[in-house]
Amino acid sequence: MPFELQKEKIQEVQFLNLGLVDYQEAWDFQTLRHKELVARKLRNRELTKAGAATEKQEHFLIFCEHPPVYTLGKTGSLDHLLLDEEGLTEKGFTFYKINRGGDITYHGPGQIVGYPIFDLDCFFTDVHKYVRYLEEAVMLTLKEYGIESYREKGYTGVWLPATANAPKRKICAIGVHLSRWVTLHGFAFNVNTMLGHFENIIPCGIQDDDKGVTSMAKELGKTMNMQEVQDKLKQHFADLFNYTYKASANN
């Protein structure tokens, strides 16, 4: 591994699979979890000052899929959305401006959208390392299927190298937001994603002719077992961040 991992599994993470869920509903859900973690952190600081026992912090890894939706990060350009309001309605897409970093991206069925809600004070306080771990979890999952991937200098996310028949291709987009070292938003990993939906945007604001988007299904020429890919990805998260999963019906 290119990263120094945690030496002890001292954190528990609750895994939740929300299935196919409206973007606004998922956003509200993760925002509530985020607020709870921040509030617990602040309470624990006061409890520590008072010499009292602290509460155990709760962390979440949320997987879901969304109906077709475009989201624009706070540093993105609306010009990168190639549909007007009428076009969005006609094609059945929704659109949201949100508070993550990055530009515009697409979410839809066949994509693993991941929202880690972690208090990084319990792991490490390094946002760059955090993003690299998100990338690494996806890269390790791809490796299990024989797909070579890499990090493109100057960009976040996971890429596949150019071949004689295809340019460099992004297979996973990442956009995060942190408040008091508690994470929000996350990644979008193209597994069986309908890639034609990316044609309505300039993905991540990248207009280079030598860069495109792809999915596992396109690369391997077959529809992937989503549950199997999710299980592998979920385990790589636990291994990288060196935590255990809290027992629940969703595990």
CATH 3.30.70.1230 is held by the domain 12-245: no
Please check whether residue 99 is in contact with residue 130, taking contact to mean a CB–CB distance below 8 angstroms.
no
> What is the per-residue pLDDT for 217?
98
Find the catalytic residue in 64, 122, 172, 204: 204
Task: Provide the residue ranges of all domains of the chain, joining segments of one domain with +.
Answer: 12-245
Q: Is the pTM of this model over 0.75?
A: yes
Output the tens digit of pLDDT for each of the chain's 251 residues. Answer: 445 554 555 899 999 999 999 999 999 999 999 999 999 999 999 999 999 999 999 999 999 999 999 888 877 777 777 777 888 888 888 888 887 877 888 899 999 999 999 999 999 999 999 999 999 999 999 999 999 999 999 888 999 999 988 889 999 999 999 999 999 999 999 999 999 888 876 766 666 667 789 999 999 999 999 999 999 999 999 999 999 999 764 55
> What is the per-residue pLDDT for 8?
58
The residues facing 72 across adjacent strands are: 97, 104
> What is the per-residue pLDDT for 93?
85
What is the dihedral sign for C-alpha 149, 188, 61, 225? negative
Q: Is residue 64 flagged as an active site residue?
A: no
pLDDT tens, position by position, 67-103: 999 888 877 777 777 777 888 888 888 888 887 877 8
